[in-house]
Amino acid sequence: MGKGAIVRKGAARPGRVAVVGVGIIGASVGWNLARRGAEVVFIDAGRPGEGVTNWSFSWVNASNKTARKSYFDLNVAGMEAHRELARTIGPDSWWYPSGHLRWADDPAAEAQLLKTAELLAGWSYRVEVRTGAAVRRRLEPALTVPGEAPVVFFPDEAWVHGRHLVSRLVDQAVASGAEHRFGTAVCDIGTGADGSVRSVALSDGSCVEVNTVVNAAGPDASHVAGLVARHLPMRREPGVVTRIGCAQVTVRRAMHAPHIEIRPDGDGSVVLHSREIDALIDTGEDPSELARLLHASARRVVPELGSGHITQTRVANRPIPGDGFPSVGAVSSVPGYYEAVSHSGITLGPVIGRLLASEILSGQRDEMLADFRPERCPL
């Protein structure tokens, strides 16, 4: 039994488990369950990994998670869970542990960045402060960062190709006996006289008998929760991500430059995102114009991206519970119903998958999730 675990008396085997939503979190939960012998059914209205997971900045980190120490600790555990996952299933095509760079272009933002770096170092998180010139010389020669500017380097951070990772996890779970129902949505969750989960009805007219439902439906999690009369408040925070096709990708790692976030995305592609551009989504600006603004901002940081071309752009809603923190675990009022809903799903997917699968199978509740239980108030 793991340190810090709490065991619920009378925990039963979960029977057949429906995992609703097959992004990184749902795939991780299902993979962990299937490899431990559980009977798993993946359900997704689309294709696995092609929703928010594919339209995320996909940055594995804890440096941006300092609002609450328990949340920081959970994200550190998520980083380690990724490293363990890479050792278990192999790192090829999805795992890129090349570190992360961050710098600012105004004194107030720079001071805050260095203050956060000091805090993180005090929490034993690896942080290096370099000059822009040293970064260009040793890490990223294509950047235009000023030579004397302080640049914070987080060597243990990474980026993930989310769609490739989800595909790998689902394929391995299916090889362990998992089933899937892709291209069909959950339209009802049936319960017994005692209120416990009994079945899920799908939009293709079929009905799947189950004993457990894991709500990993991301932006649609509130709707799925409503099918068991559970109120799950969610924030509305849309984000726009653009992919740039490049003859040669000249950046080697994820970075937060002033006004723009940039990372490689495998052969011939770079991903762009900006919170400042996200703020324009609700103004009615056309997504193609948002993509153009992202590309223009990126060219100021990496001039060679000017020869690239916009290939894909998507506006997607982030799956963020109302208080901004994950909702993970059992809902006692509906036996057999669990939630696995979180922003930062790329970082947290593997650790949430491991901890929730253990809870479902054994009744063991890990204290690492104590602050993130679904029934905290207010959510």
Residue range 12-25, pLDDT digits in tens: 558 999 999 999 99
Decide if 378 is inside a domain: no
Q: How confident is the model at residue 267 (pLDDT cuts 50, 70, 90)?
A: confident
Cα 361 from Cα 351, distance rounded (Å): 15
Q: Are residues 174 and 214 in the same domain?
A: yes
Q: Six-digit token pair at 46?
A: 């689309």
* CA dist 13 → 25, 26, 84, 327 (Å): 21, 19, 26, 22
pLDDT for residue 12: 56
pLDDT in tens, 349-360: 999 999 999 999
Q: Are residues 125 and 229 in the same domain?
A: no
Decide if 199 is inside a domain: yes
* CA dist 355 → 107, 144, 341 (Å): 41, 42, 13
* CA dist 262 → 128, 270, 326 (Å): 20, 7, 25
**Long-range contacts: 288-293, Cβ < 8 Å, 24+?**
288/313, 290/240, 290/242, 290/315, 291/240, 291/242
What's the chain's average pLDDT? 95
Q: Please check the confidence at residue 3 and state whether its pLDDT lies above 50.
A: no
Q: Residue 126: give the domain boundaries.
A: 100-153
Q: Are residues 211 and 225 in the same domain?
A: yes
Cα 39 from Cα 178, distance rounded (Å): 6
Q: Please check the confidence at residue 337 and state whether its pLDDT lies above 50.
A: yes
Place of tokens 């009378």: 10
Q: How confident is the model at residue 243 (pLDDT cuts 50, 70, 90)?
A: very high
Last residue of a domain, one of 301, 317, 333: 317
CA nearest neighbour of 346 among 8, 29, 52 = 52
Q: Are residues 175 and 281 in the same domain?
A: no
Do 357 and 33 form a contact (C-beta atoms < 8 A)?
yes
If phi > 0 it is left, if psi is from -120 to 50 it is alpha, else beta; for residue 124 that is left
| First-residue to last-residue Cα distance in the chain | 29
Q: Are residues 242 and 230 in the same domain?
A: no
Decide if 63 is inside a domain: no
pLDDT in tens, 21-42: 999 999 999 999 999 999 999 9
Cα 368 from Cα 78, distance rounded (Å): 11
Cα 356 from Cα 366, distance rounded (Å): 9
Last residue of a domain, one of 317, 339, 359: 317
Q: Which amino acid is at 188?
A: D
Last residue of a domain, one of 86, 120, 153: 153
* pTM for this predicted structure: 0.95
Q: Are residues 217 and 110 in the same domain?
A: no
pLDDT for residue 377: 80
Decide if 87 is inside a domain: no
The number of domains in the chain is: 3
pLDDT in tens, 216-239: 999 999 999 999 999 999 999 999
Q: Are residues 226 and 256 in the same domain?
A: no
- Cβ atoms within 10 Å, residue 186: 24
Q: Are residues 352 and 219 in the same domain?
A: yes
Residue 188 bridge partners (DSSP): 201
